[in-house]
Amino acid sequence: MRNELIVILGCTATGKTQLAANLAYRLDAELVSADSRQVYRGMDIGTGKDLNDLVVNGTAIPYHLIDICEAGEEYNVFQYQKDFLEVYASLQERRKLPVLCGGTGLYLEAVLKGYRFVEVPENKVLRAELEQLPVEELVQMLSGYKELHNTTDTIHKKRTIRAIEVAKFEQEHEAFIRDFPKMDAHIFGIRFDRETIRDRITKRLKYRLDQEGMIEEVQGLLNRGITAEKLKYYGLEYKFITRYLLGELNREELFEQLNIAIHQFAKRQATWFRKMERHGFQIDWIDGNLSLDEKIMEIQKKLGNFKG
């Protein structure tokens, strides 16, 4: 079995989870999340886990990297890539095709770029040595590691020292950084026109606030001892609903400001995906207005023999 990977990406409120789950059902595959907030337990409605969509025709679709840590804990792209590689190795052993689904561009690229993201540790000994050198000498040293495209690394001494620290670590650990499975990835994106996305976001937000209990979810997290500062850090729904519960916003302000923030977030996602295409990733865009069956048929047609 080749190192095959199917990717379903798209902006928020495009129906990624439902499509990925139904495709996984058709291909006897398993779903792997690429969402920076769905890793947290108890953060369900605000992150759009849509776990009901992961049951197709009575069959529970196996999923990974959802609900893997507690709300309030710190989780980042370095940990995500480590966890993804463990899941991927397990799927390969069991000869299962992974369907990677999500809208967090950084997490998607952590998988698709084909090299490890490494959280470079602080080297106190090296830093102490470099602190003794003038900025000009540090810049010359940094240019010996790499061609200097990012001039901001050389404006401040601390940034230059950190850039040298990172470059030195990457040079000394190149084998580890490049030790990444080469994946034959076929990327599909769900696309709607801008007005349709805006309408879908607004309708979904109203439903989650009025019907699904999203405010109660955030209140429950606060009751469990998750600090308001931490919830605000998670952004969007958790930030604005926390402010509402603290009395910083009224209900109308909550809806209006959160709605605008989610629209802006969707624009940033679209910009990220366009950047991916400029950097060489081929994304086959699927018309979001097609029925679910039509979307799956179009994907299967484009996959051809790409099914393990």
Domain spans of the chain, in order of start: 4-116+179-303, 124-172
The whole-angstrom separation of Cα 107 and Cα 37 is: 11
pLDDT confidence of residue 147: 63
pLDDT confidence of residue 151: 52
- List the chain residues with pLDDT less than 50: 152, 307-308
The whole-angstrom separation of Cα 254 and Cα 261 is: 10
Relative to beta strand 184-191, strand 63-64 is unpaired
Handedness of CA 38, 43, 47, 53 (dihedral sign): positive
Cβ proximity of 79 and 73 under 8 Å: no
Q: What is the CA radius of gyration of the chain?
A: 22
pLDDT confidence of residue 32: 98
pLDDT confidence of residue 308: 43
pLDDT confidence of residue 120: 84
**Residue range 85-140, pLDDT digits in tens:** 999 999 999 999 999 999 999 999 999 998 887 778 889 999 999 999 999 999 88
pLDDT confidence of residue 305: 56
The CATH number fitting domain 4-116+179-303, selected from 3.30.565.10, 3.40.50.80, 3.30.310.50, 3.40.50.300: 3.40.50.300
